[in-house]
Amino acid sequence: MIEDANDLVSRHCETLRYGASVVKNEKVGELLLAIPSWRREFDDGVEKLKREFHFIEFKDAFSFTYKIASLSDREDHHPKIVTEWGKVTVYWWSHKVNGLHINDFIMAAKTDLIAKLAARS
């Protein structure tokens, strides 16, 4: 059972194979409690996690995007990231399951941690 975001942050992404299971609906609700700023939505017919992060300076938005990209390479799990003036929108989902997997919740929690650390600096 996931208690909070720290439980997710401490985990690493699993290697996925095509046909792996999506997270069941009741488990999605539990996991969202650990990452309350994220919302689930359908984008291009696929359920995804989405969050917008706001910045005053474009360079800060770009730096945040770079940190997410670096994390994504380390975890071998990559999001859709839209970087624009004043805002970065991040979408997490798993292509191989065509929906949400525990990896997406892990990465959302790690993305929140990056944002929290960026806000302190």
DSSP for residue 1: -
pLDDT tens string 46-78 = 999 999 999 999 999 999 999 999 999 999 999
Mean pLDDT of 13-32: 91
Span 87-95, mean pLDDT? 97
2 has pLDDT over 70: no
The 3-state DSSP class for residue 82 equals: strand
Rounded distance between C-alpha atoms, residue 42 and residue 44, angstroms: 7
| 3-state secondary structure (DSSP) of residue 39 | strand
- Rg (C-alpha) for the chain, rounded Å, is 14
At residue 1, the pLDDT reads: 57
**What does the block give as tokens for 7?**
């439980």
Cα separation of 84 and 2, whole Å? 33
- Residues above pLDDT 70, as percent of the chain: 97
What tokens appear for 45 in the block?
A: 């017919």
| Ranges of each domain in the chain | 39-120
Give the model's pLDDT for residue 17.
87
Do the beta carbons of residue 88 and residue 64 sit within 8 Å?
Answer: yes
Q: pLDDT at position 19, please?
A: 79
CATH assignment of 39-120?
3.30.1360.20
